[in-house]
Amino acid sequence: MKTIEITETPSLAATFFRALGTGAKQPGLIKSLPKVELVLPEVVLDAEHIARYAALCGFKPSDGVPLIYPQLLTFPLVTAYVSSADCPWPAMGTVHLTNAIDQHQPLHADDRVRVELEAGDLFAHDKGQVFTLKLRILREDTLVWSATQSLLRVGVKQTSGAPYVSQIASDLPLSCQAEFAARADLGRRYGEVSGDRNPIHLSALSARLFGFKRAIAHGMWTNARALSFLLPTQQLKQATLNVEFKTPLFLPGRATLWTTRSPDGALFEVRDAKGQRPHVRGQLSY
Give residue-wise pLDDT tens across range 86-129.
999 998 889 999 999 999 999 999 999 999 999 999 999 999 99
**Same domain as 13, residue 129:** yes
Q: Which domain holds residue 239?
A: 168-286
**Same domain as 113, residue 14:** yes
**Same domain as 233, residue 172:** yes
**How far is Cα of residue 55 from the mean position of the Cα atoms in its chain?**
18
Global pTM reads 0.93
The mean pLDDT value of the chain amounts to 93
**How far is Cα of residue 187 from the mean position of the Cα atoms in its chain?**
14
**Same domain as 2, residue 108:** yes
Rounded mean pLDDT of 7-24? 63
Residue where one domain finishes, among candidates 150, 165, 180: 165
Rounded mean pLDDT of 12-25? 62
* CATH number where 118 lies: 3.10.129.10
**Same domain as 267, residue 173:** yes
Residue where one domain finishes, among candidates 165, 196, 222: 165
Residue where one domain finishes, among candidates 138, 165, 192: 165
**Measured between alpha carbons, how far is 31 from 212 in angstroms, rounded to an integer?**
32
Phi, psi dihedral angles at 167 (to 5 degrees): -100, 5
Q: What is the pLDDT of residue 171?
A: 77
Q: What is the pLDDT of residue 1?
A: 85
**Same domain as 238, residue 159:** no
Partner residues linked to 114 by β-bridges: 138
Q: What is the pLDDT of residue 91?
A: 86
Rounded mean pLDDT of 5-12? 72
pLDDT above 70 coverage of the chain, percent: 94
Yes or no: say if 280 and 230 are a contact pair by the CB < 8 Å rule: no
**How far is Cα of residue 48 from the mean position of the Cα atoms in its chain?**
21
pLDDT tens digits, one per residue of 168-191: 877 789 999 999 999 999 999 999
**Same domain as 178, residue 135:** no
